[in-house]
Amino acid sequence: MVGRKICTAIRHVAFEDLGSFETAFVEAGYEVRYVDVGLDDLDAIAPTASDLLVVLGGPIGVYEQDRYPFLKAELRLIGARLQAKRPTIGICLGAQLMASALGSKVYPCLEKEIGFARMSLTPEGRGSCLSAFEHIPVLHWHGDTFDLPTGAVRLASTKACLNQAFALGREIIGFQFHPEAGARGFERWLIGHAVELGAAGVDVSSLRETHLSLAVEQQRRSNDCIRRWLSDLG
């Protein structure tokens, strides 16, 4: 379709996709295209070509570039994108990659944060698209964190993680938590992260039940969040 907007999503593992966000992007007129790390050549992607870039989550660390050399190409891509101030969203690992590309340190948390819990929104967060998640538990699933990038605004925190979300202007936003949760396919997360869940002593049945109880509301609020963010882009 001539003139259709393009949303490119960089995906690190197959089951961590756009989730609930995809519905909102399609409704807003975006054609979603996935780039799969390990299959697609990140150096072949023009950093500013897409109307929107979303960098998704994954179970590795930004600082593991010797083990996963593709991270160097991904950081170059993200860095060029952010320097051009093109609309960019990062989720979990994606937010950490964005923070690193902006010059911030990424490092392991004192404790892993896995499960559903509420966040504390800053005044800026309450005035942003994150207001959609106020007063409701959201999904946390990470072992790393990052320093707030220079010039960025903190939007949300938890006790275990100071920087749960940040914004840099209207075009750039990073979510340490998983706002895209709520769509079908959560069982794939429980399977794909089985070793991590076992090592962390997480009760898989309880995590599944909590997700099921929140899924409909999470999906609604996820869509509201992205609609607000896209609207604020102008």
pLDDT digits (tens, 9 = 90+) for 209-221: 999 999 999 999 9
Whole-number mean pLDDT of the chain? 95
Which residue range(s) make up the domain with 70? 5-233
| pTM of the model as a whole | 0.96
- How many structural domains compose the chain? 1
Residue 11 clears pLDDT 60, i.e. is over it: yes
CA dist., res. 219 & res. 180, Å (int): 7
* Average pLDDT of span 173-202: 94
The pLDDT tens digits for 83-133 are: 999 999 999 999 999 999 999 999 999 889 999 999 999 999 999 999 999
Q: Do residues 193 and 207 touch, judged by C-beta distance below 8 A? A: no
H, E, C per residue of 128-169: CHHHHHCCCCEEEEEEEEECCCCCCEEEEECCCCCCCEEEEC
Q: What is the mean pLDDT of residues 164-186?
A: 94
CATH number at residue 197: 3.40.50.880
* Count of C-beta atoms within a 10 Å radius of residue 1: 6
